[in-house]
């Protein structure tokens, strides 16, 4: 564990409630009816937790729990209307490329949308992300439980690292 969950600040626009993922059947049922649910998935170490916390707090911070499944509750307010969004951030393990998928059917049924993250500097994580998207699309079209095709967002993360050699080259030129 690299982060300190208690020091994650609340966002100005809503509430950040972060907890270790210990959801039960009741938790799935309750959140399905009361919130917009987002599954965050992808290869290990691509920045799933960092990206989720950055979206909620608007800042890149190192103070979050990494390497564990987590859920984050976030409330957004728009025109006096409040909407709760729950993120399920699933940690992956070293053997993730060998395993079929990092989530189960229940996770997929629960999700209203899926964010698939890859590291722009690591092609293997991109190939894995495509595999995940392919799996979800095939599953959605063949399963009645999934209620049609879910929106999927493919996100390339760690762009700052990918740009580094280029900007260093430019500095040398100037």
Ligand X SMILES: Nc1nc2c(ncn2[C@@H]2O[C@H](COP(=O)(O)OP(=O)(O)OP(=O)(O)O)[C@@H](O)[C@H]2O)c(=O)[nH]1
For the record, the structure tokens of 16 come out as 């950040």
Q: Between residues 72 and 110, which has the closer beta carbon with respect to ligand X? A: 72
- Shortest Cβ distance from residue 128 to ligand X (Å)? 11
CB of 174 to ligand X, least distance (A): 24
Nearest C-alpha neighbor of 138 from the set 130, 36, 87, 62: 130
Contact 96/48 with Cβ under 8 angstroms? no
Report the C-alpha gap between 129 and 89 in whole angstroms: 15
Does position 107 interact with ligand X (CB under 6 A)? The reply is no
Nearer to ligand X, 37 or 48 (CB): 48
DSSP secondary structure letters along 66-127: -SS-EEEEEEEEETTEEEEEEEEE----TTTTTSS-SS-HHHHHH-SEEEEEEETT-HHHHH
DSSP 149: P
Near ligand X in 45-104, by CB under 6 A: 45-50, 62, 66-67, 91-92
Judged by beta carbon, residue 30 or residue 127, the one nearer ligand X is 127
- Closest separation between CB of residue 56 and ligand X, Å? 13
For the CB of residue 164, give the shortest distance to ligand X in the complex, in Å. 9
Contact set with ligand X (CB under 6 A): 44-50, 62, 66-67, 91-92, 157-158, 160-161
């Amino acid at each position: 564990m690299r982060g300190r969950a208690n020091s994650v600040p609340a966002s100005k626009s809503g509430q950040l409630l972060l907890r270790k993922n210990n959801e039960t059947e009741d938790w799935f049922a309750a959140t399905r009816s009361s919130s917009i649910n987002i599954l965050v998935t992808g290869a290990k170490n691509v920045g799933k937790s960092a990206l989720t916390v950055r979206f909620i707090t608007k800042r890149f911070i190192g103070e979050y729990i990494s390497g564990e499944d987590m859920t984050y509750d976030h409330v957004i307010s728009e025109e006096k209307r409040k909407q709760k969004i729950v993120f399920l951030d699933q940690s992956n393990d070293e053997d993730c490329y060998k395993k079929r998928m990092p989530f189960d059917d229940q996770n997929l049924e629960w999700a209203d949308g899926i964010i698939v993250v890859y590291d722009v500097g690591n092609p293997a994580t991109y190939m894995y992300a495509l595999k995940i998207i392919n799996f979800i699309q095939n599953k959605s079209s063949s399963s009645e439980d999934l209620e049609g095709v879910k929106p999927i967002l493919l996100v390339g993360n760690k762009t700052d690292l990918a740009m580094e050699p280029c900007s260093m080259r430019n500095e040398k030129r100037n």
